[in-house]
Structure 1
Amino acid sequence: MTSLTIGGIVSGLDTKSIVDKLVSVQGNSQTLLKNRQIEQNSAVSAYSSMLSSIGSLVTQMSSLANTSSWATTSATSSSSSVTATATGSVANSLTFDVTSVASAHSLISNGSVNSLSATVASGSSITLDKNGTSTSINVGTGSLSEVVSAINSANAGVTASAVQTSPGTYRLQVASTTTGEASQFTLSGLSGFPGAGAQMNILAEGADAEIKIGGSGSNAYTVTSATNTFSDVAQGLSFTVGKVEAGVTVGSAVDTTKVSDQISGVVTNINNLLSSITTNTAWDSSTKTGGPLLGDSTVRALQQQILSTVSGMNAPGLSVTSGGQVQFDKTTFDTAFKTDPTGTMAAYGASSSFTAATGKSASASLSRATSATQAGTYAVDVTSQAKAEQWQVIPPGTGVVGRTVALLRGSTTVKYDVASGEDASAVAAKLNTMLAQSGMGITAAADASGNLSFTSTNPGSAGAFEVKFTETSSGSAVAGATVSQTTEGADIKGTINGVEATGIGNILTVPPTSDDPSAGLSILVNSTATGDIGDITYKPGLAQQFGSLFSQMSDSQTGTLVQAQTTAKTQVKDLQTQIDAWTDRLAAYRSSITAKFTAMESSLSALKAQQSSLASFFNSSSSSSSS
Structure 2
Amino acid sequence: MATSSISGLASGLDTASIIDQLMQLEAVPQNRLKSQQTTQKSVVSALQSLNTDVSLLSSRAESLAKPSAWQTLKGTSSTSDVTVTAGSAAQPASFAVTVDRLALAHQLGFNDAAPLTGSAVVTGSSVHLTTHDGIVHDLATGDGSLQSLVAAINGSTADTGVTATALRVADGSYRLLTQSTKTGATSDFTLTNADGSALLGGAAVRAGQDAQVSLGLGITATSSTNTFTELAPGISLTLSGDATPGRTSTITVAQDSSSVRATVKALVDQLNGVLGSIDSQSASATSTTAAGPLSGDPTVRSLRGALADTVFGGDNTSMASLGIQTDRFGKLVFGGDAFDKAYAADPAGTAAKFTTSASASANGFAARVAAVAKSASDGTTGTITAAITGRKTTIDRLSDDIAAWDDRLALRRTSLQQTYTALETALSNLQSQGNWLAGQLAHLPTSS
Q: For this structure pair, what is the TM-score category when the shorter chain's length is used for normalisation? A: 0.7 to 0.9
Instruction: State whether structure 2 residue 212 is matched by structure 1 residue 210.
Output: yes
Alpha-carbon distance change, 299 to 598 in structure 1, aligned in 2, over 3 angstroms: same
Give 1:29 shift.
0.9
Secondary structure of the structure 1 residue equivalent to 2:250: strand
Cα deviations by residue, 1:344-367 (Å, 9 ceiling, x for unpaired): 334434456xxxxxxxxxxxxxxx
Q: Is the 8 A contact 1:210 1:222 kept in 2?
A: yes
Letter in 1 for 2:274: L
Cα deviations by residue, 1:338-396 (Å, 9 ceiling, x for unpaired): 222233334434456xxxxxxxxxxxxxxxxxxxxxx67xxxxxxxxxxxxxxxxxxxx
Give 1:557 shift.
5.1
Q: Is the 8 A contact 1:83 1:240 kept in 2?
A: yes
Instruction: State whether structure 2 residue 291 is matched by structure 1 residue 293.
Output: no
Equivalent residue number for residue 99 of structure 2: 98
Equivalent residue number for residue 134 of structure 2: 134
- Find the aligned partners of 2:141 and 2:184 in 1 and give their Cα distance: 33
- Find the aligned partners of 1:245 and 1:549 in 2 and give their Cα distance: 57
Alpha-carbon distance change, 291 to 114 in structure 1, aligned in 2, over 3 angstroms: closer
Secondary structure of the structure 2 residue equivalent to 1:603: helix
Alpha-carbon distance change, 288 to 256 in structure 1, aligned in 2, over 3 angstroms: closer
Equivalent residue number for residue 368 of structure 1: none
Give 1:592 shift.
1.4
Q: Is the 8 A contact 2:352 2:364 kept in 1?
A: yes
- Find the aligned partners of 2:283 and 2:245 in 1 and give their Cα distance: 70
Equivalent residue number for residue 411 of structure 2: 588
Cα deviations by residue, 1:222-278 (Å, 9 ceiling, x for unpaired): 333333334545676745241224343343554433332233222222222222223
TM-score (normalised: structure 1): 0.58
Equivalent residue number for residue 326 of structure 1: 332
Give 1:582 shift.
1.8
Cα deviations by residue, 1:492-540 (Å, 9 ceiling, x for unpaired): xxxxxxxxxxxxxxxxxxxxxxxxxxxxxxxxxxxxxxxxxxxxxx986
Higher relative contact order by CA 8 Å / sep ≥ 6: 1 or 2? Answer: 2
Q: Is the 8 A contact 1:135 1:156 kept in 2?
A: no
Alpha-carbon distance change, 287 to 605 in structure 1, aligned in 2, over 3 angstroms: farther
Equivalent residue number for residue 391 of structure 2: 568
Cα deviations by residue, 1:538-560 (Å, 9 ceiling, x for unpaired): 98654455445545544555554
- Find the aligned partners of 1:226 and 1:539 in 2 and give their Cα distance: 49
- Find the aligned partners of 1:28 and 1:2 in 2 and give their Cα distance: 24
What is the correspondence of 1:248-263 to structure 2 with a 5 Å cutoff? Answer: 248-252=249-253, 254-263=255-264
Q: Is the 8 A contact 1:91 1:252 kept in 2?
A: yes
Equivalent residue number for residue 177 of structure 1: 181
Equivalent residue number for residue 47 of structure 1: 47
- Find the aligned partners of 2:65 and 2:124 in 1 and give their Cα distance: 64
What is the correspondence of 1:316-465 to structure 2 with a 5 Å cutoff? Answer: 316-350=322-356
- Find the aligned partners of 2:289 and 2:80 in 1 and give their Cα distance: 69
Alpha-carbon distance change, 567 to 165 in structure 1, aligned in 2, over 3 angstroms: farther
What is the correspondence of 1:593-612 to structure 2 with a 5 Å cutoff? Answer: 593-607=416-430
- Find the aligned partners of 1:556 and 1:337 in 2 and give their Cα distance: 36
Equivalent residue number for residue 165 of structure 1: 169
Alpha-carbon distance change, 550 to 251 in structure 1, aligned in 2, over 3 angstroms: same
Alpha-carbon distance change, 79 to 44 in structure 1, aligned in 2, over 3 angstroms: same
Q: Is the 8 A contact 1:311 1:320 kept in 2?
A: no
Q: Is the 8 A contact 1:8 1:601 kept in 2?
A: yes
TM-score (normalised: structure 2): 0.78
Secondary structure of the structure 1 residue equivalent to 2:179: strand
Letter in 1 for 2:398: L
Letter in 2 for 1:20: D
Letter in 2 for 1:39: T
- Find the aligned partners of 2:229 and 2:67 in 1 and give their Cα distance: 21
Q: Is the 8 A contact 2:111 2:204 kept in 1?
A: yes
Give 1:127 shift.
4.5
Alpha-carbon distance change, 325 to 221 in structure 1, aligned in 2, over 3 angstroms: same
Cα deviations by residue, 1:382-412 (Å, 9 ceiling, x for unpaired): xxxxxxxxxxxxxxxxxxxxxxxxxxxxxxx
- Find the aligned partners of 1:104 and 1:559 in 2 and give their Cα distance: 60
What is the correspondence of 1:217-296 to structure 2 with a 5 Å cutoff? Answer: 219=217, 221-230=219-228, 232=230, 238-241=237-240, 242-252=243-253, 254-284=255-285, 286=287, 290-296=291-297
Secondary structure of the structure 2 residue equivalent to 1:282: coil
- Find the aligned partners of 1:65 and 1:326 in 2 and give their Cα distance: 18
Instruction: Choose the corresponding residue for 1:577, options 400, 403, 407.
Output: 400
Give 1:106 shift.
1.6
- Find the aligned partners of 1:278 and 1:59 in 2 and give their Cα distance: 22
- Find the aligned partners of 1:194 and 1:618 in 2 and give their Cα distance: 141
- Find the aligned partners of 1:232 and 1:97 in 2 and give their Cα distance: 17
Secondary structure of the structure 2 residue equivalent to 1:598: helix
Cα deviations by residue, 1:20-40 (Å, 9 ceiling, x for unpaired): 343222211111111011112
Secondary structure of the structure 2 residue equivalent to 1:193: coil
Alpha-carbon distance change, 246 to 297 in structure 1, aligned in 2, over 3 angstroms: same
Give 1:72 shift.
3.8
Q: Is the 8 A contact 1:8 1:14 kept in 2?
A: no
Equivalent residue number for residue 68 of structure 1: 68
Cα deviations by residue, 1:136-195 (Å, 9 ceiling, x for unpaired): 212125735555445442433333333343344343332222223333444455535354
Secondary structure of the structure 1 residue equivalent to 2:140: coil
Give 1:5 shift.
1.9
- Find the aligned partners of 2:51 and 2:87 in 1 and give their Cα distance: 36
Q: Which moved more, 1:292-301 or 1:281-290?
A: 281-290
Alpha-carbon distance change, 44 to 319 in structure 1, aligned in 2, over 3 angstroms: same
Secondary structure of the structure 2 residue equivalent to 1:31: helix
Secondary structure of the structure 2 residue equivalent to 1:106: strand
Percent identity over the alignment is: 36
Q: Is the 8 A contact 1:176 1:184 kept in 2?
A: yes
- Find the aligned partners of 1:25 and 1:568 in 2 and give their Cα distance: 28
- Find the aligned partners of 2:98 and 2:373 in 1 and give their Cα distance: 53
- Find the aligned partners of 2:222 and 2:290 in 1 and give their Cα distance: 75
Q: Is the 8 A contact 1:179 1:208 kept in 2?
A: yes
- Find the aligned partners of 1:114 and 1:611 in 2 and give their Cα distance: 126
Secondary structure of the structure 2 residue equivalent to 1:207: coil
Alignment gaps of 5+ in structure 2: none
Q: Is the 8 A contact 1:84 1:240 kept in 2?
A: no
Structure with greater proportional helix content: 2
Q: Is the 8 A contact 2:6 2:424 kept in 1?
A: no
Structure with greater proportional strand content: 1
Alpha-carbon distance change, 121 to 164 in structure 1, aligned in 2, over 3 angstroms: farther
- Find the aligned partners of 2:372 and 2:44 in 1 and give their Cα distance: 21
